[in-house]
Amino acid sequence: MSETRLMKGNEAIGEAAIIAGCRYYFGYPITPQTELMEYMAKRMPQIKGVFLQAESEIAAINMVYGAAGAGARVMTSSSSPGISLKAEGISYCAGAELPCVIVNIMRGGPGLGSIQPAQADYFQATKGGGHGDYRNIVLAPNSVQEMADLTILSFDLADKYRNPVMLLGDGALGQMMEPVNLEEKSLVPQKKPWAANGLGERTKPNVINSLYLKPEQLEAHNIHLQNKYQNILKQECRWEELSVEDAELIVVAYGITSRIARSAIEMAKRDGLKVGLFRPISLWPFPSERLLTLAKQTRAFLVTELSAGQMIEDVRLATGQMKPVHFYGRMGGMMPSSREIYNQINLIMREKEAVK
């Protein structure tokens, strides 16, 4: 039986991770994700799991590397500056093909920035962050319920592809309370015959490593990784759409911004405007193919983000020069109101009317 509870997004991630079988959490506090860490500090001892506050973010991600290498379901979380510190370790996890879940509850940047909600880490999350040719699977929830659901999915995808998965939220999603339904059953993670957890029945020891000194071997490893990424690209694109079929303008937004955009779209629809919403749920792999299809039937796009414009590059790559791609963003922890986005929609639609 599941019960509807009122939870903060940060707490919902914690409980969902436990449901997914995560028994190891390593982290270092930072606003606005600290409630997740606090939740794990309370819950892990109750279920005989491990909660450890590391001496730094760098230590925490390397503890994740160790636990993942031993086959455990493991998670770490932080907010923007802390994720930068973890970048080296994430690259190591990607190189050694270690399944793990990394949560980034984004705040304003660059530098120490602010503690308010932002989406300025899109490039870092989807294009790398650490060194080398690697990809994280990146999932972007837009409600407390999805914070929970996508956390469980993150663990499953991490194991399925032996790949780091980043759950990308923001300060508003982390701090806000909403109703959430949590399955009370605990998932049993699948067996990991590759894990370095004792020889057991095997005759050859498993080795967890990202070092290949012979370039031929490293290239072969890279080709293997790239094939895996291609497979993920084919299998794991996720998105949500609303009223796109006859839309003359499609707003593209993810996470918290998609909700504000949705309210703005409802306002525009009441004026009789044909506006739809496209919300990428997986930021990598990015649902490019679907956007290309939509580009053929709509007249323009409006990308809106809590950044100077990062996801817009993927929208442009997906749709080429087919249709104009407009942008509206706020930065530094500022959030647009639905009326602001509504005004942008109106502006674009009026221009369209003029050239018709």
Q: Does 32 contact other proteins by CB under 8 A? A: yes
Q: Does 338 contact other proteins by CB under 8 A? A: yes
Q: Does 244 contact other proteins by CB under 8 A? A: no
Does the bond joining 32 to the residue before it have cis omega, within 30 degrees of 0? yes
Among 257, 256, 258, 296, smallest CA distance to 276 is for 258
Candidates 37-45, 52-60, 194-202, 332-340; binding stretch for other proteins (CB under 8 A): 332-340
Q: Does 266 contact other proteins by CB under 8 A? A: yes
Nearer to other proteins, 114 or 210 (CB): 114
Does the bond joining 285 to the residue before it have cis omega, within 30 degrees of 0? yes
Structure tokens at 222: 């890279």
Question: What SS3 string covers 179-209?
Answer: EEECCCCCCCCCCCCCCCCCCCCCCCCCCCC
How far, in Å, are 34, 86, 298, 330 from residue 337 at the CA level?
A: 26, 33, 25, 10
Candidates 122-130, 243-251, 263-271, 286-294; binding stretch for other proteins (CB under 8 A): 263-271
d(CA 155, CA 98): 11
Q: How far is the CB of 42 from other proteins (least distance, A)?
A: 15
Q: Which residues contact 35 (CB under 8 A, 6 or more apart)?
A: 8, 10, 11, 174, 175
List binders of other proteins among 270-329 (CB under 8 A). Answer: none
Q: How far is the CB of 67 from other proteins (least distance, A)?
A: 30
Amino acid identity, position 225? L
Nearer to other proteins, 225 or 244 (CB): 244
Amino acid identity, position 236? E
Nearer to other proteins, 4 or 231 (CB): 4
Candidates 14-22, 198-206, 273-281, 334-342; binding stretch for other proteins (CB under 8 A): 334-342
Nearer to other proteins, 88 or 240 (CB): 240
Amino acid identity, position 54? A
DSSP single-letter state for residue 30:
-
Q: Does 337 contact other proteins by CB under 8 A? A: yes
How far, in Å, are 146, 263, 326 from residue 256 at the CA level?
A: 11, 11, 19
Q: How far is the CB of 261 from other proteins (least distance, A)?
A: 8
d(CA 243, CA 312): 20
Q: Does 345 contact other proteins by CB under 8 A? A: no
Structure tokens at 300: 């323009």
Nearer to other proteins, 158 or 251 (CB): 251
Q: Does 331 contact other proteins by CB under 8 A? A: no
Among 145, 140, 152, 157, smallest CA distance to 106 is for 140
Binding mask of the shown chain, residues 161 to 200, with x at each position contacting other proteins by CB under 8 A = ----------xx--xxxxx---------------------
Q: How far is the CB of 101 from other proteins (least distance, A)?
A: 24
| Number of residues located near other proteins, criterion CB under 8 A | 25
Nearer to other proteins, 144 or 283 (CB): 144
Q: Does 263 contact other proteins by CB under 8 A? A: yes
Do the Cβ atoms of 150 and 167 come closer than 8 Å?
A: yes
Which residues contact other proteins (rule: CB under 8 A)?
4, 6, 31-32, 115-116, 171-172, 175-179, 256, 259-264, 266, 335, 337-339
